[in-house]
Every structure is written in structure tokens, then in C-alpha cells.
A and B are shown apart, each in its own frame.
Chain A
Amino acid sequence: MPITLQALFAPNKLAVQFAIKTLLGGGLALWLALRWGLEQPAWALMTAFIVAQPLSGMVLQKGLARLLGTLVGTVMSVVFMGMFAQTPWLFLLALALWLALCTACSTLLRSAWAYSFVLAGYTVAIIALPAVDHPLLVFDQAVARCTEICLGIVCATATSALLWPMRVEQQLGGQARQAWSSGLQAASATLTGEQQARKGLLEILGRIVAVDAQREHAWFEGSLGRQRARAIRGLSQKLLILLRIARSVRRQWQQLDEAQTRHLQPWLDEVQAALATPDQASLLLLRQRVWDAAHDEHISTAEHYCLARLTLLLDNAMAATLALRAVEEGTALADVPDSLAVHRDVPLALLFGSRSALAFLAMAGFWLATGWISAPGGLVLTCVVCSLFASRENGAQIGLSFLRGILLALPVAFVVGQILLPEWSGFPMLCMALGVPLFFGALGMANPRIGATATSYCLHFIVLVAPLNAMHFQVATFLNSAQAMLIGVGAAVLAFKLLVLRNPAWHGRRLRAATQSDLVRLTRRDLRGADTWFGGRMADRLLQLARHYAALSEQERTRWDDGVHGLDIGDELLHLRHCLAIARAPLDSAERAYLQQLESVLARGPAPGRSDRLDAASEQFIEAIQRQPASDPLRLAIGAVLQLQRSWGKWCRRQEEIHGLA
């Protein structure tokens, strides 16, 4: 395997630095744990390896998440032991339920903090299962595990912050600039046509979500990091709005006839040129000129809408540029928007949770049926793998690379733990025996492509060698725990393989239903923050749909189109409501009637033959608006109503095409 060989024998400078940092952090944790006579020093060493991440903010964030989860898990393990120590099946059932709950919560909470829930789930298994034979000692065990884990976290954080510190927030500037420039490009591509836009849209959505995910880590890197985290939030929001406005300009553009298109083409070219080489002054100048052109007496209504939206596009391009500058300089924006909302699916999360619980119960059944002493070790691993990778699409593959790591760790741990260490004594020798295999493991951890295998190799190597102050070497124990590990991870992989919860068609239907219910809520929802709420959730969904895109047949790809149509309608709806809010015309009853009609139409969803359901309501509402004294926001509102009607018709006709095909 060339990648593995390259990672191990020709690593780059960053990988070597990471390996040295990790090793020193682990060594410090192990020494302190041995010096203080903690019960199982291996846990301190292992924790130092688990929280090791290339960037210091990430280490601190992961460490804190782990600490929080461990504390909750520790308390729960004592509670479970206190309540069910005499009733093994009830105890296992309660544990399975707790695991299901934690897995479900971690799937729902789609941020780096989800790790806390995973930890809260399997820490109970780690502490309570080995203590089943002597329940009275559970409190001591809980305190010991908690101390060891905290020690590991502190040591890993200290080394990663002191030695060659690499900060998330410094990399954030570059990533933000990339996201910004590809955002402007995607907007520019959207202006010209549909086909190029799809790929661009996917790429930029991916980038925005990726940059936004780094925000949580930057939070832990001093006040500059916090300011940047806040500025990133502004940038993600501005870029999402920019993309939606670009789509709306495109929609208006399609309404123009040939003469109008020819008339406006120079403006479009100029805007695209400005987006290709954006600088604030020329954008501002162009915006003013487009705005003046929009208010020319001689142009038609359709042209006016189009130019007015182009102005809005330029406004947002400028706002995005300002937000980027705020990120790069680390100054906070004046108005910080809400963070991007994400799409949450409670039933799916509960299904993931029950899969973890089922795998756990199956292994627990095996344990109780065979009465094998080493089975709890495997049971713990089933919990870990099932809850850590529950929401990953490739859970089974990650589980298999976990298994590969164990297979690699077995011979190395046998040589070190059963052959070398009995001959050697003293901490320096222990460090040498553990350090050399772990150094190569840490080099592998720095490479994302073999990271999972390498991490699993390091952790299981440590578990199998289990350094203690008074070592005891037993081949039988070693073989038993090796088997238990293989069976435990095997059971988790089997659960992932047998219970596949990622049916693309079903998943797509759920995403569409969620989009529809969001649209319905958008007719009533408070306008403040509605942009980020809707935009963030839709971005999240479109990304999820896109992940399944390759796996779908041509006919099923319409789900993606469904998502995009939903996005367009929501966008027009927001635009309409903004226009009406600015106009402050006495339109209350007409507006309420129209929105209610819209709500009921959206709630039923698009279907063949429903394309004209909005026509009557739209006509009435436009008449009501036209009775008011004319003003610019009202003119734009009429445009938005017409666009809503058209987008709805298009969505319904798309359904007709699909059903015609079927």
C-alpha cells in the first residue's frame, strides 16, 4: 500500500510534528498516572491519543466535549449500578436504552459537540460492565476512570498548545477566502444558466458548511478566535443569501422577451465581470449605475424587476466582501446573525439509536449465554463503534478499518507485551517499548486516509499491553481479550451491514416532506432570522440530497430538483414578505388571505394538475396591491407574487413530467 508506506516512512514535517506532540502528551500522561498510582494508567495514555488532533483549538474542543460526556456517563453508571445491580437483564436493558438515547441525541446534534453524547453513552459501558462482579466498587472505579481521562485530556491539550502550536483561526482566513471566491463564482455561473450552476452550487454549499464547522473549534483560541468565529457566521449567511438572489435574478431573466434580453445583456455582462474581479469601489459604482437604470422611465416592469434584483445581488456581494474582511482581520460584525440552522430528523435519529441498542443487546445475550469472562471487553467495543459511527453513511467501512487496526495491533502488542516487557523494567524502557510502535501509529493518524485504522491500532495496542506499575503477563488473558475485541467490533460491523438505514429513496422523501413543512412555516414565521433559518436548513438538505445523487437512477434524481424548487419558492416567499414589510401599506387582510391560501396550497404539496391553484389568490392579491398608491417595494412585491405563482406552476409541471414517465 503506497499511501501507508508513504505515511510511515516519508512523512511530511507536519505529520512528524503531530506525532512528536502526541507522543510527548501521551508519555507525560502515562508518567503522571504511574507516579500517582492510578488504577489503570493505560486510560490516561489512551485518552491523550484519542483527543490528539492536528490543530490546538480542535484538541481543546474535543477534550472538553469528552470531559463533559465522561462526567455525565460516570454519574449515570453509578446510578445504573445502584438501581439494577441485582437484576442483570434489567441492567443491560437500561444500558441499551441509555445507549440508544445518547446515539440518537448525538445524531440530532450535528456539531462537534455531538461527541459529548457519544461519550456519555459508552462511558457507562466502560465503567459499569467491568464492575458487574463487584458492584460495591463501582464508585471507586468511576472516580478512577474520570481522573485518568481528565489527566489525559490536560496533558494532550498542554502539549498541543505549547509545542508547534497550530491554530484553527489562522487557517480559517484562507478557507474563508476560498469559500468567498467560489461563492461569487457560483453566483456568477447561476446568472448564465442552469446546468453549470448545479455543480457549482454543490461545491459552494459544501465549502460553506465546512467553514462553518470550523467555527466551533476557533471559539477556543482566545478572543481573536472568538471574533473570527462570529465573523464566519456572518460570512456563511451572506454567501447563502447571495446564491439565492443569483437564482432569483436568473428566474426573472427567463421572463424577459428577446428585445428586453438584448437590452439588459450589457448590464449582466458588466455584473459578471465585476463578480470575477470584485473590489469594493467598483462594485459600489456599478450598483449605483444599475439602480439608476432600474428607475429609468422607459423600461418595462419585467426589466425593472430584473435590474432591481441585480442591485440586490451587488449589495450582497459587497456585504459578503465586508464579512470576509471581518474574518481576515478578526473584527466582529456589527449585527451577528444566528448560526446556520440544520435539518434535524428525529425518527431517523431514533432508528440509529435503536440499531446501537440492538447490537448491544445481541452481544449482551452472547455474554450471558456463554458466561465468557472477556466478553465485556468486546461489549464495550460494540458500544463504541456503534455510537461513534452511527450517523456515518460508511459506518460499515469505518468499522472494518477499525477491525484492520486491531489485527495490526495484535502481533505488535504480543511481541511488546508478552516478549519484550517481561525482560525490561523501568519507565524509560517502557517508554521505548511503547513509544516506537505508537510513533508510527501517530504518523498514520496524521494522514486522513488511513487515520481510522491508525487510531484503532494505537488504542488497541495500548489496551492489549496495558502498562501498570505492577505488570502481570498472561498469554491467556491476552488471547481472550484479543478475541473479545474482534468479536465486539465484528458485531458492530454486522449491525451496520444488516440494518442499513440509508435508503436513498426513503431519505429523499423525508427531506422533501421536511422542505414542504418548512415552506408552510415560512408563511407565518417571524421575518427576523428567517433567512438564516431557511437558508441553513435548505443548504444542509441539498447537501444531503447531493450525497445520494450519484446513487440514484435518472428518474429518482428529481428529488434534487424537488429540493431546488422548494428553495426557489421559499426564497420568493421571503422576498415577498420583506417587500411587504418595507412597504408598510395597509394590506393586512388581503395579505393574510393570500398567505393563508398559499399555506394551504403548500401544505398539500405539488402534484400533477395543481399548477393553477395559486392563480386566483395571486390575482386577487395583485389587485389589492395595485389599489394602493404606487411605490417601489409594492412594485417588487407584485413581481414576487408573480414569480411565486410561476415557480409553483413549474414545480407541479415537473411532477406531471415524472408521473408521465412512470
Chain B
Amino acid sequence: MGLREWALGGVLLSPFLVYVVLALGLTAAVHLLLHLTPLGRWIWHKALFDCALFICVLTLVTLWLGPL
């Protein structure tokens, strides 16, 4: 079974869009956590790290929630 659309007031939304928004929020939270702890100092390329982190979180979210 594949992914199914989300119906929002008659407008069909791709579930991937929902995952992306969810992953964006989670990434922001992890990012904040990293920068509040001393771990943030170890990052070499901040933008690259954030980008990679987002991809990882998005993958996890998709795997975890699966087809809704």
C-alpha cells in the first residue's frame, strides 16, 4: 500500500508535504538543542550539517509514520 493523500477541507494534500513540514519542525528543535549544548561547537559547516540533519529526520519521519 502506498501513500495516500490528506483531505483538508476538500483540498487534497500530498502526505509527503505533511512529512516535510513535520520534519522541518523536528529539525529546528534538534538544531536548537544542539546549539544550547556544547555539541554545537563541533560542527564544521553549519548549513551542510543542518541540511543533512533535515534529510535524516525526514527519512525517519517517513519510515516511522509510513502510509497514513
Q: Measuring CB to CB, which residues of chain A are less than 8 angstroms from any residue of chain B?
A: 475-476, 479, 483, 494, 497-498, 500
User: A476 touching B11 by the CB < 8 A rule?
Assistant: yes
User: 13 A-B contacts, Cβ less than 8 Å apart?
Assistant: A475-B11, A476-B11, A479-B11, A483-B17, A494-B47, A494-B51, A497-B47, A497-B51, A498-B45, A498-B47, A498-B48, A498-B51, A500-B47
Q: How many A-B residue pairs have CB under 8 A?
A: 13
Q: Which residues of B contact A (CB under 8 A)?
A: 11, 17, 45, 47-48, 51
Minimal beta-carbon separation of B45 from chain A (angstroms): 8
Q: Which residues of A contact B48 (CB under 8 A)?
A: 498
Cβ of B48 to closest chain A Cβ, rounded Å: 6
Nearest-Cβ distance from residue A363 to partner chain B, whole angstroms: 15
Chain A minimum-CB-distance residue to B48: A498
Q: How far is the CA of A497 from the CA of B51 in the complex (A)?
A: 10
B28 to chain A, nearest CB (A): 15
How far apart are B60's CB and chain A's nearest CB, in angstroms? 20
Q: In the complex, what distance in Å separates the CA atom of A500 from the CA atom of B48? A: 11
Q: B residues within 8 A CB of A475?
A: 11
Instruction: Enumerate the 7 nearest inter-chain pairs by beta-carbon distance, A residue then B residue, closest first.
Output: A497-B47, A498-B47, A498-B48, A498-B51, A494-B51, A475-B11, A479-B11
Distance between Cα atoms of A498 and B11 in the complex (Å): 35
* Closest Cβ–Cβ distance, residue A495 to chain B (whole Å): 10
A15 smallest CB distance to B (angstroms): 36
Q: In the assembly, what is the distance between CA of A500 and CA of B45, in Å? A: 10
Bound-state Cα–Cα, A311 to B45, Å: 55
Complex Cα distance, B11 from A475, in Å, reads 9
**B contact face: mostly helix, strand, loop, or mixed:** helix
Inter-chain contacts of A497 with B (CB < 8 A): 47, 51
Please indicate the chain A residues that have their CB under 8 angstroms from the CB of B45 in the complex: 498
With both beta carbons as reference points, the residue of chain B lying nearest to A370 in the complex is identified as B16
Cβ of A374 to closest chain B Cβ, rounded Å? 12
- Chain B residue, CB-CB nearest to A487: B20
Chain A residue nearest to B16 in the complex (CB): A370
Instruction: Give chain B nearest CB distance to A83 CB in angstroms.
Output: 34
Q: Which residues of B contact A476 (CB under 8 A)?
A: 11
Query: Closest CB-CB distance, B49 to chain A, in whole Å?
Result: 10
CA A497 to CA B11, docked complex, whole Å:
34
Q: With a CB–CB cut-off of 8 A, which chain B residues contact A479?
A: 11
CA separation between A494 and B50, bound complex, in Å?
10
**Complex Cα distance A479/B45, Å?**
34
Distance in Å: Cβ of A468 to nearest Cβ of chain B: 23
Residues of B contacting A500 in the complex (Cβ-Cβ under 8 angstroms): 47
* Bound: A494/B48 CA distance, A: 9
> Which of B11, B47, B51 has the largest number of chain A CB atoms within 10 A?
B47
Q: How far is the CA of A500 from the CA of B47 in the complex (A)?
A: 10
Chain B nearest Cβ from A602, distance in angstroms: 38
B17 cross-chain contacts in A, Cβ below 8 A? 483
Q: What is the bound-complex CA distance between A479 and B5, given in angstroms?
A: 15
Residues of A within 8 A of B47 (CB): 494, 497-498, 500
Further 10 A-B residue pairs, CB within 8 A, beyond A479-B11, A498-B45, A498-B51: A475-B11, A476-B11, A483-B17, A494-B47, A494-B51, A497-B47, A497-B51, A498-B47, A498-B48, A500-B47
> What is the chain B residue whose CB lies nearest that of A476?
B11
Q: Which residues of A contact B11 (CB under 8 A)?
A: 475-476, 479
Q: Whole-angstrom distance between the alpha carbons of A483 and B51 in the complex?
A: 19
Most buried by B among A475, A476, A498: A498
B19 to chain A, nearest CB (A): 14
Residues of A within 8 A of B51 (CB): 494, 497-498
Distance, CA A498 to CA B47, complexed state (A): 6
Complex CA gap A483/B17 in Å reads: 10
In whole Å, how far is B68's beta carbon from the nearest beta carbon of chain A? 19
* A475→B8 CA distance, assembly (Å): 13
Q: How far is the CA of A483 from the CA of B16 in the complex (A)?
A: 13
Smallest CB gap from B10: residue in A: A475
Indicate the member of A475, A497, A500 with the most B CB atoms within 10 Å. Answer: A497
B53 CB → nearest A CB, Å: 13
Residues on the B chain within 8 Å of A498, using CB = 45, 47-48, 51
Nearest B residue to A372 by beta-carbon distance?
A: B14
Bound Cα distance A483, B14 (Å): 12
A186–B11 Cα distance when bound, in Å, is 66
Whole-angstrom CA separation of A475 from B48 in the bound complex: 35
Question: What distance in Å separates the Cβ of B57 from its nearest Cβ neighbour in chain A?
Answer: 16
Could you tell me the distance in whole angstroms from the C-beta of A378 to the nearest C-beta in chain B?
14
Instruction: Tell me, in angstroms, the Cα distance from A483 to B20 when the chains sit together.
Output: 12
Alpha-carbon separation in the docked complex, A497 to B52 (Å): 13
Instruction: With CB as the reference atom, state the residue of chain A lying closest to B45.
Output: A498
Q: CA separation between A494 and B45, bound complex, in Å? A: 13
CA distance A498 to B48 in the complex (A): 6
How far does the Cβ of B26 sit from chain A's closest Cβ, in whole Å? Answer: 18
Report the separation of the CA atoms of residues A498 and B51 in the bound assembly, to the nearest whole angstrom. 9
Q: Chain A's nearest CB lies how many Å from the CB of B66?
A: 19
Q: Complex Cα distance A629/B15, Å?
A: 92
Find the A residue at minimum CB distance from B13.
A479
Q: Name the residue of chain A whose CB is nearest to the CB of B17.
A: A483
B42 CB, nearest partner CB in chain A, Å: 19
Closest to A479 in B: B11
Which chain B residue shows the least CB distance to A494? Answer: B51
CA distance A500 to B17 in the complex (A): 29
Q: Smallest CB–CB gap between B38 and chain A, Å?
A: 23
Q: For the complex formed, measure the closest distance between the CB of B11 and the CB atoms of chain A, giving whole angstroms.
A: 7
Chain B residues closer than 8 Å to A483, beta-carbon distance: 17
Nearest residue, chain A, Cβ from B12: A476
A367 to B45, CA, bound (A): 27
Tell me the minimal C-beta distance from A563 to chain B in angstroms. Answer: 29
Q: How far is the CB of A310 from chain B (nearest CB, A)?
A: 54
Q: Complex formed: what's the CA distance from A497 to B48 in Å?
A: 8
Q: Smallest Cβ distance from A489 to chain B, in angstroms? A: 16
CA distance A476 to B17 in the complex (A): 14
CA distance A498 to B46 in the complex (A): 9
Taking the closest CB of chain B, its distance from the CB of A399, in whole angstroms, is 12
| Bound: A479/B8 CA distance, A | 13
Residue of A nearest to B54 (CB): A494
User: For the complex, what is the distance from the CA of A500 to the CA of B51, rounded to whole Å?
Assistant: 14
Q: How far is the CB of B24 from chain A (nearest CB, A)?
A: 11
In whole angstroms, what is the CA distance A494 to B51 when docked?
Answer: 8
Give Cα A479 to B11, complex, Å: 10
